[in-house]
């Protein structure tokens, strides 16, 4: 994947994509995987010279690669896509009074899980499905997806504040959903959020989504399993606690009482008391539709 974090750095790539012909070349390579210059010229009804000019711009931008191969008619230049995905960050995250970390979904510091449950790395299932013992397997730190029907996952967030600094807002951005056997798009589940063991509210996930492959799922992940979640932003500040801008409780940072010496513990849970006990799935960068882990953002003054 090509990841552009600053718009200016992506200018050569944007210029390369500003041509209808070059877009057509990218689409042809996506379908056929690899084509030589003669093939491209024939499909586009252009001369080899015209195609060569466009290919050069795509290669310089990093969108495609060219290898030479020996064919029936001598040495040929074979073209193929350099990467399958492109991601562009439109917001500049630079802020002197902010720091951000990404926490792998497998880096939980505490857990409690009831089946259906499990975890997987980008390469394989850890242990066996529906056996909570494997959440203690050392391999869990490499997990890119974790799920349970009832219980919790807790994560420790680093506190880098100095004695003269104060918390202004905490933000957590994650892809999550419900947990059904296999998947079920209509499977509401109340997912609760705790900060330092204090409940700050909940969000009802509409389902455990499947039916189409998650964009970043590895090829071995079976189509009858859950595929992706919903990207949610949890915020807590001096005004209250919010999900995607909607207030979920009056719990504030002042109520939590954080300072530069505090631990910061974030817990996701589906408790037995919930009205909808239909599980929780957390997606890391190698699963789902978003190429990210749990993002924790700390704003301070």
Query: Is the pLDDT assigned to residue 14 strictly greater than 60?
Result: yes
Do 124 and 198 lie in a common domain?
A: yes
Cβ neighbours of residue 159 closer than 8 Å, sequence gap 6 or more: 258, 260, 261, 262, 263, 264, 298
The CATH number of the domain where 33 resides is what? 1.10.10.10
* Lowest pLDDT segment from 86-100, 195-209, 252-266: 86-100
> Which residue range is the domain that position 59 belongs to?
2-87
Report residue 72's pLDDT band, with 50, 70 and 90 as the boundaries: low
Of 22, 54, 87, the last residue of a domain is 87
Do 101 and 71 lie in a common domain?
A: no
Residues 128, 120: Cα–Cα separation, whole Å: 10
SS3 85: coil
Across the range 10-37, mean pLDDT stands at: 91
Do 213 and 116 lie in a common domain?
A: yes
Across the range 33-59, mean pLDDT stands at: 92
Across the range 11-25, mean pLDDT stands at: 91
Do 150 and 264 lie in a common domain?
A: yes
Query: Is the pLDDT assigned to residue 94 strictly greater than 60?
Result: no
Enter the tokens of residue 203.
Answer: 């969000």
Do 166 and 232 lie in a common domain?
A: yes
Do 151 and 192 lie in a common domain?
A: yes
SS3 105: coil
Specify the pLDDT at position 103.
97
Specify the pLDDT at position 35.
92
Do 142 and 58 lie in a common domain?
A: no
In the numeric block, the tokens 């918390």 are attached to 167
The CATH number of the domain where 108 resides is what? 2.60.120.260
Do 102 and 243 lie in a common domain?
A: yes
Do 9 and 138 lie in a common domain?
A: no
Of 33, 55, 87, the last residue of a domain is 87
Helix (H) or strand (E) holding 255: helix 253-256
- Report how many domains make up the chain: 2
Across the range 31-46, mean pLDDT stands at: 92
pTM of the model: 0.72
Do 101 and 77 lie in a common domain?
A: no
Specify the pLDDT at position 82.
84
Q: What is the pLDDT of residues 195-247, one digit of tens each?
A: 999 999 999 999 999 999 999 999 999 999 999 999 999 999 999 999 999 99
- Tell whether omega for the bond before 154 is within 30 degrees of 0, i.e. cis: no
Of 87, 112, 141, the last residue of a domain is 87
150-157 and 264-270 beta bridge pairing:
antiparallel
């Amino acid at each position: 994947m090509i990841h552009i974090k600053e718009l200016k750095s992506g200018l050569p790539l944007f210029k390369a994509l500003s041509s209808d012909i070059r877009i057509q070349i990218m689409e042809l390579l996506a379908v056929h995987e690899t084509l030589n210059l003669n093939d491209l010229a024939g499909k586009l009804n252009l001369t080899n010279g015209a195609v060569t000019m466009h290919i050069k711009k795509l290669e310089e931008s990093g969108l495609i690669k060219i290898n030479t191969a020996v064919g029936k008619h001598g040495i040929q230049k074979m073209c193929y896509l350099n990467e399958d995905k492109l991601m562009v960050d439109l917001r500049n995250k630079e802020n002197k009074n902010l720091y951000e970390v990404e926490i792998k979904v497998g880096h939980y510091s505490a857990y409690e899980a009831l089946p259906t449950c499990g975890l997987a790395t980008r390469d394989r299932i850890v242990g066996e499905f529906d056996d909570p013992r494997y959440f203690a397997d050392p391999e869990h730190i490499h997990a890119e997806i974790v799920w349970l029907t009832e219980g919790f996952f807790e994560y420790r967030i680093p506190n880098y504040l100095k004695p003269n600094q104060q918390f202004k807002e905490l933000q957590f951005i994650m892809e999550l959903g419900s947990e059904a056997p296999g998947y079920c798009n209509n499977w509401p589940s109340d997912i609760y959020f705790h900060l330092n063991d204090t409940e700050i509210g909940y969000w009802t996930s509409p389902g455990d989504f499947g039916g189409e492959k998650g964009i970043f799922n590895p090829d071995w992940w079976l189509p009858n399993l859950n595929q992706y979640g919903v990207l949610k932003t949890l915020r807590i500040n001096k005004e209250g606690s919010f999900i995607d801008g909607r207030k979920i409780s009056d719990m504030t940072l002042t109520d939590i009482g954080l300072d530069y010496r505090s631990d910061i513990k974030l817990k996701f849970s589906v408790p037995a008391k919930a009205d909808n006990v239909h599980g929780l799935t957390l997606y890391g960068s190698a699963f789902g539709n978003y190429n990210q882990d749990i993002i924790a953002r700390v704003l301070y003054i």
